[in-house]
Amino acid sequence: MTSPDAERARTGTPAAGPTPLTLTPGKPIRLSAGTLIAEIQPACGGRLSRLARRDTRADDFDYLVPLGNEPFPSDEWPKAGAFPMLPYTNMLREDTLHWQGRAITVREAPAASSSLHGWGLRRAWEVVDESPHCCVLQLDSPAQPEWPWHYQAYLAVTLDALGVDVQLSITNLSTADMPAGLGLHPYFRWPAGARLTFESEAVWRSPSEDVRWPSEQRVHVGAIEVVSVGGGLDTEGRSTWFAEVPADTGRFEARIDYAGGLRSATVRSEDAAWLVVHSPAGRPYLCLEPSTHRVGEFDEDHTVVPHGETLSLAMRIDLR
């Protein structure tokens, strides 16, 4: 007998109520433009499961780590593809939202890490529009104890011959004001020799892999450059940096150049206040995550969304 969770994942039907324990990739929505291809898995959190270029020899160059075909736990997902983060990004301190005199526990049992990156990546999204170059998904999330607001989210992925646009939005359908934050979480390939450059007003670093909060600030002037040794960000073992948007431009632009200089990926966002840069030592992936608020500081750094209003975040990835 097929479980309700498995059936919803197979058909792409949105899950109602608690987060399903397992997500199962199905037949992806495939977009193509020129030599670029993109695949989306609506049933796996609206994840962009593949982003690649096919060259003249019919070989594929994957910019993102491709998502496999095997089912996976909703709280222990593969480090692959790109997924939306909502109604907040990363984690809240002690899994608690302090809001108008209330302390709301955002952890949703039994998923052990259900507070990490919100719920959008753990639910099945509904396909509302599809074409050879674009896909639009919708997620309707009724109020629940862990998040007592009803919201509706949209995720649009548009591919052209030069790259991909990803647009994420969340609308408050509750009568009361809702705090909200958005983020996008791609896993880029990060092999030895790849080079990352970007600019930031200031960079905050987590002291260790076990501590997720930014606690050490280092101000930079000009471009920051990191060369991959097959994973990791620095020689001191820090895996995560939290970069503030440059004050002079108000937008992020981060570029990965792959060995040989024949391929590159440039991430741009004009809506993000922070860019989370994440790569654990020994793991050949690099996350460049545009976010509207600082990790752990949601209580002081969120957007208040009144009834019927919408918060949006866009990310452009130019590919060469």
What are the two backbone dihedrals, phi and then psi, of residue 58, each rounded to the nearest 5 degrees?
65, 20
Token output for 145: 């104890």
For residue 30, which amino acid is it? R
Q: Which residues of the chain fall below pLDDT 70?
A: 1-18, 56, 58, 109-114, 207-212, 237, 299
d(CA 173, CA 310) in angstroms, rounded, equals 10
47: enclosing H helix or E strand: strand 47-54
d(CA 48, CA 287) in angstroms, rounded, equals 14
Kindly list the distances between the CA atom of residue 120 and the CA atoms of 20, 55, 94, 253, 287, in Å, as whole numbers in the listed order.
Answer: 12, 33, 20, 25, 18
Per-residue pLDDT, 20: 85
CB 109 within 8 A of CB 100: no
Non-local CB neighbours of 285 within 8 Å, separated by 6+ positions: 65, 79, 80, 187, 188, 189, 190, 231, 279
Per-residue pLDDT, 107: 81
Token output for 10: 């197979």
Per-residue pLDDT, 109: 63
Phi-psi region of 249 (alpha: psi -120 to 50; beta: other; left: phi over 0): alpha
**Segment 256-294, tens digit of pLDDT:** 999 778 899 999 999 999 999 999 888 999 999 999 998
d(CA 310, CA 186) in angstroms, rounded, equals 23
- Answer whether CATH 2.70.98.10 is correct for domain 26-319: yes
Q: Is 95 helix (H, G, I), strand (E, B) or coil?
A: helix
Q: Where are the domains of the chain?
A: 26-319
Kindly list the distances between the CA atom of residue 278 and the CA atoms of 1, 12, 90, 223, 233, in Å, as whole numbers in the listed order.
Answer: 40, 30, 12, 17, 8
d(CA 196, CA 189) in angstroms, rounded, equals 11
Instruction: Count Cβ atoms below 10 Å from residue 220 Cβ, excluding itself.
Output: 15
Per-residue pLDDT, 209: 65
